[in-house]
Chain A
Amino acid sequence: MVATSQNPSKIRIENLGVSYGPDPALRSLSMDIPRNEVFGIIGPAQSGKTTLLKTLNRTIDLVPEASVKGSVYIDDEAVVDAPEPVPAKSLTRHGLRDVCGYRRRIGMVAPLPVGLPMTIYDNVAFAPRQAGVKERGQLDEIVERCLTQAALWDEVKDRLTTLGTKLSGGQQQRLTIARALSHEPEVLCLDEFSIAIDPVTTMRIEDVLRELQSEMTIILVTNLVQQARRLARQTAFILNGELVELDDTEAIFSGEANDPRTNEFVSGIFG
């Protein structure tokens, strides 16, 4: 069922299983995520979408009761490599060791915006500073570029020194997108980014994503199935931690997908 892509895949996931205590969140999931395009992931609540993203950027390590099995490769480099289930906090011994360095390669946007309690400027400069960028001019440049990309620059350019937490919900969400872009990620993960923002802003960000996909791989997890349809070339449908179907987006949404559950989900019968 895996559709062939003209691009070689950026991320390869093989038999990935993640459990929180005894409860499985992902069961033996395998898929390839193509390079430099928007890849949609749809599925109802509790289907394991967020867990998948957490595993991709290795923040799953921070969940004390999680255990992980299977492999994740990014550019053929093993991020997770655990033939047998291992506690997530010991993943440094079963995959990539330099987790902090790795997370800087992945941009992550959470469902609800989290402006860190510092100025707008410092929010965006946070990751570059950690990565050792000290020169003011260089930081200025990064901040302006990222805020512009996130369609926020015009609104905040005169008040970069106000607290990021003082912005409105939609602005904060764009701030988190700017922040996720600040370390020039190879992969940008968006987890239901439009929950907290209005439709107009959502459309502006979708435009931004269309532009960005030439530079990076974008994984778009969304509850709004139409959003996947607008943006993604390929879409995966996940249900109860299992991959039901992965195909060209149009095939998924055509109403004639291979699996009847896909048709039911996209036409709003359940989910």
Chain B
Amino acid sequence: MRKSLTTRQIVAEWIIENLIRLCGISAILFVFGIFFFVFREGAPLLFGEGGFDLIKFLTSPEWYPSSNSNPRYGILALILGTASVSCLAVLISVPFGLGAAIFISEFCGPKLKEGLKIVIELLAAIPSVVWGFIGLTLMKGIIESVFGVPFGLTVLNGAIILALMCLPIIVSISEDALRAVPDSYREAAQGLGATRWQLIYRVLLPAAKNGLLAAVLLGVGRAVGETMAVLMATGHAVNIPIDGTPPYFHALDSVRTLTATIAAELGETAQGSPHYRVLFLIGIFLFCITFTINLVADLVVRGIRKE
């Protein structure tokens, strides 16, 4: 029996090893490549090109990028649009998502559990443009008739659609976190006479809290980054939904989000124009937000593993 490798085997081994290495490295290269490209297109503004003012960019509500006489690029309204839709979406999806995860992991039988998990995975597989379509047609009509408003493409509409889109992430990660709680905790707590609710509230939720937090953060990341569905469902009107008159937050106003603005306007700008660069700067801004959220979520998840 031969013990040493043939030349052919050694060469094949070398090729395969390096192919795999290339695949691994390419992922990093792509991320840096994308970041570099976006940064190159947007960054000149940061270094004062065309008298650009970063403070004004972030704090001015005036978004008139295609005005011939005096184009103004203030994204405050867009930031608040994204923030309001995302926050409301998270407020809706977190209780539902956690509730569903608790039900799946603690209450339902094995058959129902499998069924529910498949359905929730399916929910994750629906393309965002289909969600947008639902917002544009079905949800619009519902909101118009329930709230009696003339135009149903609103913060609330976008938030409900987004909430449904975040739900699968929140449910599946929360369910993983709850399942990772050792059964011995359940036995110990129930052996001490804990009711199911006491077990969940006093033992399971505290034990799984890092995983649950990560689930929520990843849901937020999804909400902030989502484009197509909110573009279609929120009415795409530059508007700040918050003002000094009660109820201060107007969920039935139309808004426009950062992502939707890029998607809708980038195709119509001349490459290298101020408008084009501003849209890329918005991209950098979004990248920073989602990067921060994902980083925090990742650190939280790491925290779990260490325990």
Contact = CB atoms under 8 A, between A and B. Distances in A.
Contacts of A176: 188
A183 B193 contact: yes
18 contacts: A59-B190, A62-B187, A100-B195, A103-B193, A106-B191, A110-B187, A114-B184, A114-B185, A116-B189, A116-B207, A118-B203, A118-B206, A126-B192, A126-B202, A127-B193, A127-B194, A176-B188, A183-B192
A108 B185 contact: no
Contacts of A102: 193
A108 B190 CA distance: 10
A112 to B, nearest CB: 7
Nearest to B198: A130
A126 B189 contact: yes
Contacts of B194: 100, 126-127, 130
A155 to B, nearest CB: 21
A118 B199 CA distance: 13
Interface string A178-215: 01101100000000000000000000000000000000
Given A117-B206, A118-B206, A130 B187 contact: no
Q: Which of A114, A176, A182 has the most CB of B within 10 A?
A: A114
Interface string B161-198: 00000000000000000000010111111111111001
B189 A100 contact: no
A59 B187 contact: yes
A57 interface: yes
B184 A112 contact: yes
- Which of B188, B194, B198 has the most chain A CB atoms inside 10 A of its CB? B188
Nearest to B186: A62
B191 A108 contact: yes
Contacts of B185: 114, 116-117
Interface residues of A, number: 25
Interface string A74-92: 0000000000000000000
Nearest to B203: A116
Given A110-B184, A179-B192, 8 more contacts: A62-B187, A100-B194, A103-B192, A106-B191, A108-B192, A118-B206, A126-B202, A130-B202
A104 interface: yes
Given A110-B184, A116-B185, A116-B188, A131 B203 contact: no
Contacts of B203: 116-118
Contacts of A114: 182, 184-185, 187-188
Nearest to B189: A116
B237 to A, nearest CB: 48
B112 to A, nearest CB: 13
A101 interface: yes
Interface of B: 182, 184-195, 198, 202-203, 206-207
Interface in A214-251: none
Interface in A94-121: 100-104, 106, 108, 110, 112, 114, 116-118
A208 B194 CA distance: 26
A101 B202 CA distance: 17
Contacts of A103: 190-193
Contacts of A106: 191
B114 to A, nearest CB: 15
A58 to B, nearest CB: 9
B188 A130 contact: no
A114 B184 CA distance: 7
Nearest to B204: A117
A154 to B, nearest CB: 24
A148 B187 CA distance: 24
Contacts of A100: 190, 193-195
Nearest to B194: A130
Nearest to B188: A114
Nearest to A62: B190
Nearest to B207: A117
Nearest to B187: A59
A112 B189 CA distance: 14
Contacts of A131: 193
B206 A101 contact: no
Contact of B188 (A101, A110, A183): A110
A183 B189 CA distance: 13
B188 A104 contact: no
Contacts of B191: 57, 59, 103, 106, 108, 110
Contacts of B206: 117-118
Interface string A118-140: 10000000110011000000000
